[in-house]
Amino acid sequence: MGDARAVGAQIRVRLPSLTPLEGKVAAAILARRDITDATPLKEIAESVGVSEPMVVKVAKKLGFAGFREFRQGLIDYYQSESALLHTEISPEDTAGTVVQKVFRTAMQALEETFAILDLEAFERAAAYLHRAKQRDFYGVGGSAQIARDVSHKFLRIGIRATVFDDSHMMMMSASLLGNDDCAIAFSHSGETAAVIEAVELARKNGARTIAVTNYSQSTLAKSVDVVLCSTAENSPLLGENATARIAQLNLLDALFVAVAQRDRATADANLARTMRAVQFKRKQ
């Protein structure tokens, strides 16, 4: 992991692949910001209440070669500007402090999502969307709102996409997709059953499938052709979802531009047409 900003993010996206005990160990180690290159494996294991082999096992499942690489990764990450952006909100915070902390946490999510972005997967997603005859987006709750936002942007340049946020409608949509189509599944957790079932059916029928999620090892991520990962540090009050949404919206803005760039002349012409169509709705 060459980019220090990516360390925290790479750990968070792998957390669902851990057992409850392993997750507890990982969370306890991540909470320690006093680790130095002199901190021994034995001390870490004793502080968490597990064996030394368990700590090594967790380090490897999180993507590190072993404990030493895990330890160095955490040291580098906690010394990075990105890690310093996040601070928990407390009941005593003033309005100005709250605004600063919320904005800085969003900045962290953007920085770290950019650091872990798989550009090859991003390019494939843009190609799938550009070539598709039919584009169907699946999501519920807040994820459906993200789907609607990007669908609106695509419509502005003449690329039609349909958003489905009802489980039955998702399945009906997926049953009609084929080799020339594309489905995007939006789920922060990557474990939303309705979305997973729909995208699995779409893929079974030959459609290209893309997931936008916070966890690369989630059930959804394992069910699609391409995964685009966001990342956000959990906050007791804000939660992960709210912060991750900022990162996902920016990630999809970039995807929208990448698709538009594949036929910029047509995109610009359609943008001019759609802008003229709604211009009279604005007060003069």
Report pLDDT digits (tens) over 102-156: 888 888 888 888 888 999 999 999 999 999 999 999 999 989 999 999 999 999 9
pTM: 0.83
Average pLDDT over residues 24-52: 87
Which amino acid belongs to residue 254? A
pLDDT at 237: 57
Ranking 4-13, 134-143, 169-178, 202-211 by mean pLDDT, the lowest is: 4-13
pLDDT at 238: 61
Average pLDDT over residues 83-93: 72
pLDDT at 164: 98
Dump pLDDT digits (tens) for 218-260.
Answer: 999 999 999 999 887 766 556 566 778 889 999 999 999 999 9
Ranking 81-85, 94-98, 201-205 by mean pLDDT, the lowest is: 81-85
Query: Is residue 81 predicted with pLDDT exceeding 80?
Result: no
Quote the mean pLDDT of the chain.
89
Most confident stretch, 100-114, 161-175, 270-284? 161-175
Average pLDDT over residues 4-26: 81
Count of CB atoms situated within 10 Å of the CB of 279: 9
pLDDT at 181: 98
pLDDT at 86: 66
Per the listing, tokens 């843009």 go with 126
DSSP string, 43-83: HHHHHHTS-HHHHHHHHHHTT-SSHHHHHHHHHHHHTSHHH
Q: What is the set of domains in the chain, with CATH numbers?
A: 4-85 (1.10.10.10), 118-278 (3.40.50.10490)
Measured between alpha carbons, how far is residue 74 from residues 17, 50, 149 in Å? 19, 19, 36
Query: Is residue 269 predicted with pLDDT exceeding 80?
Result: yes
Q: Of 44, 272, 47, 26, which Cα lies nearest the Cα of 158?
A: 272
pLDDT at 182: 98
